[in-house]
Amino acid sequence: MQTPNLTAKQESIIHNCLLDLLESHSLNNPSFLSKALDSLIESRGFGIEMSGIYISTDDDYENIPEYLKTGIAFEFMDDHVSLPFGEAIACITNWCNKNNQTANASINSKLKALQKKFMRAL
């Protein structure tokens, strides 16, 4: 899957956002990456303390950052990257492949659902 041409800083923001979601956990959640993917499938954003993935089609307008007009945004700390839907899903999919997350059947099925829903937007 072809990813968009990103600067090193943009790649770093996306990597750190997804890594933070993967490695952060709570008593009932071993990782928040799966919950974030579920939220995107349902066209809702998802955020934790330092990271978030937001989508312009969220029904809750308060959950859409001002800078996000169309597509999906990745936030880490105070930095963000906004991409069109298809490019964002390609970035998520490629990141999961590089970080061995596609071996997890649940993550893999969520990635397929996201691709089916958004890749036509490429």
Q: How many domains does the chain have?
A: 1
Is the pLDDT at 1 greater than 70, yes or no? no
Is residue 115 one of the residues assigned to a domain? yes
Is residue 26 one of the residues assigned to a domain? yes
Provide the residue range defining the domain that includes 99. Answer: 8-121
Q: Is the pTM of this model over 0.85?
A: yes
- pLDDT score of 54: 97
CA distance 105 to 122: 25
Is the pLDDT at 32 greater than 90, yes or no? yes
pLDDT per residue over 79-119, tens digit each?
999 999 999 999 999 999 999 888 889 999 999 999 999 87
What dihedral do alpha carbons 112, 13, 100, 104 form, nearest 10°?
Answer: -50
Is residue 49 one of the residues assigned to a domain? yes
- What percentage of the chain reaches a pLDDT higher than 70? 94
SS3 track for 53-118: EEECCCCCHHHCCCCCCCCEEEEECCEEEEECHHHHHHHHHHHHHHCCCCCCHHHHHHHHHHHHHH
